[in-house]
Amino acid sequence: MMHASPPAPQDIETLAQLFAAMEATQAIRTTAVREILDGRTPDPAHAVHLEAVLTGLAPTPGQGAMTQLLLPDGRTLNVDLAQERKELSKDLIFLQSGEQALMRHLAREIDGFDDHLEAGRRFLGDRQFNCFFTDRDGTVQSYHGRYATAVQSASSAVFLCRFAMSRTQSPIMLTSAPLRGPGILDVTAIPSGLFVYGASKGREYLDRAGNRGALPIPPRKKALLKALNERLLALVHQPENEVFTLIGSGLQCKFGQTTLARQDMDGSVAGDRSAGLRAAVRDITASLDPAGEHFRIEDTGLDLEIILTIDDEAGGIKDFDKGDAVAYLDRCLGLGIENGPHLACGDTPADIPMALAASARGAETLAIFVGCDDLTRDMIRGKLPSALFLPSPDVLTALLGEAARNG
Ligand SMILES: [Mg+2]
């Protein structure tokens, strides 16, 4: 007997409540997706629950668009939950009024929506794809302020699954986030068994049968990364540092790389606290790796990326990219990458190697990029001259949903 909907949440006043409420939406959305894919009418209780969460995420009176939440150390943090609200609102339309109502909503919201869909349909044609590689964030999911609350909408999951099931042999979501902790499996609304997940940029994966695999890392390096992650966890569990797990990327212990947010897009954290965290992370890294042989720290301004260096065959140090991931997954999962056509969808230059690797053995590979500025578009066109560009994740997922039905 499936327990469809956990009890609806009360007011959301603390970060813990926010995370619990969004986690509950993942379970509800996944259940709704499964019901829809099975041809059933989704339980109306799902929409009732999502609506209660949406109400709980309202901006705090007197704080503009921001919602004020209580932190474990008694301080408050103002967060912008606009994306979470937007995704919930779309799901309410989808679940309560149906798919066509959602399409009409998107057509009103997005300039040239119908024209983009038409261009997309022509681009895809009636091909049956062997591999469907897709990035997640920025490609099939709009960017959120916090990874842990960026739960996929039910509509996006339904559209992706329908396309995957009807027009592709091997659907693979390839993301830089880890599998868990929080990772892709914590924020997906796709029922298990339908997609392969390549996480940590494809250095670890979960296949459709539920098997996990990961690139081998030399034991010495593995032990160092484990020690680093333990020290970082202890650092962010100090009450004054807990905020860093709750903003932006939070703490993500990826396979071969650890990401720790030191700031978010809204600048929620005071500059001196952010700088203090960076200094503490550098001290920890230096104490574990005094010669700087095993870790490389990249500071994006928002995130600290502590990357375990991998020796390449020429004796140099190489960063693993999504092209390496395609080749690795092909070896592990027998994708038959030489047999096209493939479809590759992404939103940044980091996704270019994924499309190039798919076509490396001569298979026709279609590439769709989402939401790129002119500069990025030019860079992508230089490498993938026939790529199609779409304005947003909503347009891409709507296209795939439509293409599935018509394909
Ligand atoms: Mg992306």
CA of 174 to the centre of ligand 1 (A): 9
Long-range contacts of 261-265 (CB under 8 A, 24+ apart): 261/302, 261/303, 261/304, 262/299, 262/302, 262/303, 262/304, 263/301, 263/302, 264/145, 264/146, 264/302, 265/145, 265/302
For the domain covering 1-97, report its CATH number: 1.20.58.1800
Residue 233 has a pLDDT of 94
Question: Residue 144 phi/psi, 5° resolution?
Answer: -110, 165
> What residue segments make up the domains of the chain, in order of their start?
1-97, 219-317
* HEC secondary structure over 353-370: HHHHHHCCCCCCEEEEEE
Long-range contacts of 262-266 (CB under 8 A, 24+ apart): 262/299, 262/302, 262/303, 262/304, 263/301, 263/302, 264/145, 264/146, 264/302, 265/145, 265/302, 266/66, 266/78, 266/79, 266/80, 266/145
CA of 383 to the centre of ligand 1 (A): 18
Residues with Cβ within 8 Å of 365's Cβ and at least 6 positions away in sequence, in order, are: 340, 341, 342, 343, 344, 355, 358, 359
Pairing label, strands 310-311, 303-308 = unpaired
CA of 49 to the centre of ligand 1 (A): 29
CA of 337 to the centre of ligand 1 (A): 22
- For the chain, 407 residues long, give each residue's pLDDT as a single digit of tens: 444 555 555 678 988 899 999 999 999 999 999 999 999 999 999 999 999 999 999 999 998 888 999 887 788 888 889 999 999 999 999 999 999 999 999 999 999 999 999 999 999 999 999 999 999 999 999 987 788 899 999 999 999 999 999 999 999 999 999 999 889 999 999 999 999 999 999 999 999 999 999 988 888 888 999 999 999 999 999 988 988 988 888 999 888 889 999 998 888 888 999 999 999 999 999 999 998 888 989 898 899 999 888 665 444 556 778 999 999 999 999 999 999 999 999 999 999 999 999 999 999 999 999 999 999 999 999 999 999 999 999 999 999 999 996 54
Structure tokens belonging to residue 282 = 């550098």
Residues with Cβ within 8 Å of 213's Cβ and at least 6 positions away in sequence, in order, are: 204, 205, 207, 332
If you search the block for the tokens 């704080």, which residue do you land on?
Answer: 63
Handedness of CA 251, 12, 99, 101 (dihedral sign): negative
Pairing label, strands 76-79, 67-70 = antiparallel
- Quote the CA–CA distance of 199 and 254 in Å, as a whole number: 8
Question: Residue 365 phi/psi, 5° resolution?
Answer: -130, 120
CA of 348 to the centre of ligand 1 (A): 6
Residue 315 has a pLDDT of 44
Structure tokens belonging to residue 235 = 């650092």
If you search the block for the tokens 């870790």, which residue do you land on?
Answer: 295
Residue closest to 92 by CA, chosen among 46, 156, 158, 34: 46
CA of 376 to the centre of ligand 1 (A): 13
CA of 62 to the centre of ligand 1 (A): 34
CA of 238 to the centre of ligand 1 (A): 31
CA of 197 to the centre of ligand 1 (A): 14
Contact in structure between 49 and 43 (CB atoms under 8 Å): no
CA of 135 to the centre of ligand 1 (A): 6
What is the distance, to the nearest Å, from the Cα of residue 18 to the centroid of all Cα atoms in its chain?
A: 19
CA of 181 to the centre of ligand 1 (A): 19
Residue 267 has a pLDDT of 83
Residue closest to 188 by CA, chosen among 244, 141, 144, 235: 141
Residue 7 has a pLDDT of 56
CA of 346 to the centre of ligand 1 (A): 6
CA of 134 to the centre of ligand 1 (A): 9
CA of 173 to the centre of ligand 1 (A): 11
DSSP class per residue in 242-292 = GGGGTSBT-EEEETTEEEEES--TT--S-HHHHHHHHHHHHHHHHHH-TTS
pTM of the model: 0.89
Pairing label, strands 212-214, 204-206 = antiparallel
CA of 34 to the centre of ligand 1 (A): 25
- Quote the CA–CA distance of 308 and 319 in Å, as a whole number: 9
CA of 144 to the centre of ligand 1 (A): 12
Question: Residue 345 phi/psi, 5° resolution?
Answer: -125, 135
CA of 119 to the centre of ligand 1 (A): 22
Contact in structure between 400 and 157 (CB atoms under 8 Å): no
Structure tokens belonging to residue 150 = 């960026």
Residue closest to 172 by CA, chosen among 223, 128, 206: 206
CA of 350 to the centre of ligand 1 (A): 8
For the domain covering 219-317, report its CATH number: 3.30.70.3080
CA of 192 to the centre of ligand 1 (A): 22
CA of 347 to the centre of ligand 1 (A): 5
Question: Residue 299 phi/psi, 5° resolution?
Answer: -110, 110
